[in-house]
Amino acid sequence: MVLYHSEADDSLLIYAGATLLSGGTILYRVKKSRVQAAIPFFCGILLLLALEILCFATLRNYLGLSLFSLVCLAFCVYTPTQAMLPVDRRAVLITGSDSGIGHELAKFLDRLGFTVFATVLDEKGPGAEALKKSCSERLSILQMDITNSAQIQEVYRTVQRKLQNGDLWGLINNAGIMGYTADGELLPMRSYKQCMDVNFFGPVELSKTFLPLLRKSKGRLINISSMAGGIPMPRLAAYGSSKAALSMFSGVMRQELSSWGIKVAVVHPSGFRTCIQGNPEIWNKEEQNLFESLAPDVRRDYGDDYICSMKTLLMHMPSFSASDFSPVLHDVLHALLAMRPYGLYTPGKNAYKYLLIFCYSPLWFYDFFIGRCMSLPSMPSALRVAKN
């Protein structure tokens, strides 16, 4: 049957409308249900497009449209969804629950029915008191400094005793510090060592301590890293390096522990409004320590005005950080309960976008892009003189 030009145009528009409608529906279901099989899914999309072209080119107008619509409907209905395990009072241990992500996670998982062990640095602090008031009796607050081996062992014994031969399903290594933000040459070695102790060595020791319990339950190990642990970001040399080490550790553990039935995931959140950046009192103290540690020639080359501008990033951090923690909370929940959790989660605005730019664009473009995003109002003194 020969179609007139106008009829062919109308048919093409109808096909395009059906494609957009079905494609939008499928993508919404994928996002909502977190389909794990990405490659088979996209192969299915390509087959669907091939069928559309075949129907349009060979079949009668409405016959082809009807067949294509039926296939789209079937594809929407039978798009695989991710199976989730029941909560069933599963026990999880969360570090760094005084504030921020750890605090919100403890409340969130408690509301869902988990048995939560929430470790805090100060068991009499405001964060611990808030958890006591807002959470159920299933939640236990445990004092622990993640850099203290004796306290880690004490928490291990306490968890074993409270479980009464029950299983620990999940360990969530969340505790972390950012430290002061400054050029890598300016940061004292103390900052590098402190970040590595809290953000890397602490989670590694805690993981090694609790892995026998996770091996017994075939449970989950979840490490909260950072966007700075996946991409290089100016003035975050100490923090980013420690989080990158944690991300690499997570990847290796994912490979090694899979044969034991333990699932390992790492979370790279973007900016969320936590207390990790500190406050003006801490910044002033860190700035003074930085000045005292600098060699005279380094201080001269950078200039005091440039060094003092380092606080700009910390001061403006809340303005580009999200106050809604739900993307992180739901990703951690998925990592805890999904039958096939992802190895990497990137919750929050722009987290995945920055990772894609870093992985798939030329390095000069990424460096230019991230440099513009994180530029300071001034530049080092010696560079200003050379430029003039």
C-alpha dihedral over 169, 342, 348, 108, to 10 degrees?
-20
Closest CA to 82 of 31, 131, 135, 155: 31
Nearest C-alpha neighbor of 278 from the set 99, 39, 75, 22: 99
Candidates 180, 239, 342, 354; catalytic one: 239
How far apart (Å, rounded) are the C-alpha atoms in residues 43 and 46?
Answer: 5
The position carrying tokens 């899979």 is: 258
Dig out the tokens for 230 from the structure.
Answer: 């996946």
C-alpha 27/C-alpha 48 separation (Å) is 14
The sheet carrying 115-120 orders its strands as 140-143, 115-120, 91-94, 168-173, 220-224, 263-267, 344-345
Say which DSSP state 113 is in.
Answer: T
Within 13 Å, how many C-alpha atoms sit on residue 211's CB side? 17
Enumerate the β-bridge partners of residue 345. 267
Q: Write out the two tokens for 220.
A: 């989950």
Which strand (E) or helix (H) includes residue 166? none
d(CA 136, CA 113): 9
Report whether 308 contacts 387 (CB < 8 A): no
Write the CB contacts of 29 (distance below 8 Å, at least 6 apart in sequence).
Answer: 35, 76, 79, 81
Write b or e for each residue in 330-363: b if 16 or more Cβ atoms lie within 10 A of its Cβ, otherwise e.
ebbbbbbbbeebbebbbbbeebbebbeebeeeee
Length of the chain: 388
Active site residue 239: yes
**For 164, which DSSP code?**
T
The residues annotated as belonging to the active site are 239
